[in-house]
Amino acid sequence: MPIIEMRNVNKWFGALHVLKDINLDVQKGEVVVVIGPSGSGKSTLIRTINALEPIQKGKILVDGIDISKPKNIDEVRKEVGMVFQSFNLFPHMTVLENVSLAPRIVRKWPREKAEQIAMELLERVDIADQAEKYPAQLSGGQQQRVAIARALAMQPKIMLFDEPTSALDPEMVGEVLDAMKELARSGMTMLVVTHEMGFAREVADRVIFMDMGEIIEEGEPDQVFSNPQHERTKSFLARIIH
Amino acid sequence: MNKLLKMVTLTAIAVAAIVVGYYVFFAGIEAALRWYFLATKFTASKVPNFAHNLRSGAEVTIKLTVISSITGLFLGLIAGISRLSKNPLFRWPAQFYVWVIRGTPLLVQILFAYNALPFLLNPIWKFLESLGVPPIQDVLTPYWAAFIALSVNVGAYNAEVIRAGIQAIAKGQWEAAMSLGMSPFQVMRYIIVPQAIKIVVPPLVNNVIALLKDSSLASVITLLELVHHGQRMISITFRPVEVYIAVAAIYLILTTVLTFFTDWLERELARRGAVA
């Protein structure tokens, strides 16, 4: 059974039809990269999976749980971690507090356990030495690695990444991608919206190309990048690969 | 554990400093008043009494301001957050509260609390009295009537400040917190309110300073605060110029001290965790 099932998902922003009959299955442990021009609906797509964006038609099952029912939303959000383009760390908390807060108050872990696991995760994204600092004291790349650790602290089954490197200075992109690659290798189910084609080639099991709210084409990275079938995919790739 | 001990010690020191500071401050006010009234040739034998009365009036003013501010802060928090609620059962009463209080004069609210509230509460109070609660005239003294009116009044203004402060927090903070599975209440409690505090402290303090000055209106319900003591003194001495200058000077000192305190508080809040 797929861990994410999207069936005929439709979403409108007012009159704008932003997701058109999306059908998508993601298997456990799969790494799916979503590419496409801006405004194609790719961010909206992954934001529907943890109900940050409500859908108007269709059905989404996450780990078998139907998220269209409001009472299920909190349950699903505990299982789905999310990393944002603009990090969205909590600026009034230290790095350690950022990572340990949700496990403490949502999972109801005692502080020691939450902080111990938070430290292990900070170790894992190679930023444990900054645990007592505030987000504003860190570089963008460091902040995004903290954001990854924060999402992982809830021990999610799925991780969503919404353009995680787009707001970073070029020299910091690598460190964030490295953390994501390590996560992919550990067997995490990941949905990643990104323009990093190198990352997609290296770790993605599948690449999805979206345009105008539709899934135009999908397949293994080599196939999509080297031998795109669809005209719109070709022209998009021609524009981003120099 | 060590951290807790440190916090308790620091709190104890802070409380001791405030208590000592309070007595030193008002002793200083009284000494200055004595010097001033002697210098302006008031009857020497009466000067200690005058100085003492004005000092106790100033103390009533500051105490009333402090407890009304704290209560008004909680009222403002509840009403400000309720105004943002999607649920009309929360939103409408909060809107009504802010609308009525901001649209009517504080003087009327103070008079209402002292003169009209006892009548309104009478049926309930009759029942409470049978349970051994003292009569309402003994409970709703000028002091507590002023406290109710001032708290409710500043609460409405605080609600608007707090609503704006919450709305100023970026949407991404909500999204990040919700994506971690926090309930709306937890998002408020742990993420939004602590950040909004930094935004709302300066305007909230402005409200406190306004409240300190507005508390003088409680003199109309015979509360012996600073202005009322001053008026009594004038009726004895017939020297409004010197007395009102003294009264105004005390207000000026109190508001200046408050401004210094809040400047410090603002710096302190900014220091702890840079604002994004």
Query: Which ipTM score applies to this complex?
Result: 0.92
Task: Give the gap in angstroms from C-alpha A73 to the nearest C-alpha of chain B.
Answer: 8
Measured CA to CA in angstroms, residue B60 lies from A231, B143, B144, B212, B219 at distances of: 80, 9, 11, 11, 11
Give the model's pLDDT for residue A179: 95
Q: Would the CB atoms of B190 and A105 count as touching at under 8 Å?
A: yes
CB atoms within 10 A of CB B197: 15
Which residues in chain B are contacts of A86 at CB distance < 8 A?
172
Which residues in chain A are contacts of B175 at CB distance < 8 A?
52, 82, 84, 88
Tell me whether residue B99 is exposed, middle or buried, using C-beta atoms within 10 angstroms of its C-beta: 0 to 12, 13 to 18, 19 or more.
exposed
Q: pTM of this prediction?
A: 0.76
Which residues in chain B are contacts of A81 at CB distance < 8 A?
179-180
Whether the predicted pLDDT of A202 surpasses 60: yes
- Of the partner residues B172, B195, B274, the one whose CB lies closest to the CB of residue A84: B172
Say yes or no: A89 contacts chain B, CB-CB below 8 A: yes
Question: pLDDT (tens digit, 9 = 90+) per residue, B137-185?
Answer: 888 999 999 999 999 999 999 999 999 999 999 899 999 999 999 999 9
DSSP 8-state class, residue A207: E
Angle made by CA atoms B166, A70, A92, in degrees to the nearest 5: 30
Whether the predicted pLDDT of B49 surpasses 60: yes
Say yes or no: B183 contacts chain A, CB-CB below 8 A: yes
Whether the predicted pLDDT of B276 surpasses 50: no
Which residues in chain A are contacts of B199 at CB distance < 8 A?
none
Give the model's pLDDT for residue B42: 93
Question: What is the rounded (10 degree) CA torsion for B89, B94, B95, B98?
Answer: 170
Q: Which residue of A has its CA nearest to B183?
A: A74
Whether the predicted pLDDT of B271 surpasses 80: no
Taking phi first (over 0 means left), then psi (-120 to 50 degrees means alpha), and beta for anything else, what does residue A29 get? left
> How large is the average pLDDT for residues B240-254?
96
Question: pLDDT (tens digit, 9 = 90+) per residue, A95-132?
Answer: 999 999 999 999 999 999 999 999 999 999 999 999 99
Q: Would the CB atoms of A90 and B177 count as touching at under 8 Å?
A: yes
Whether the predicted pLDDT of B214 surpasses 70: yes
Whether the predicted pLDDT of B119 surpasses 70: yes
Beta bridge partners of A186: none
| CA–CA distance, B253 with B187 (Å, rounded to integer) | 40
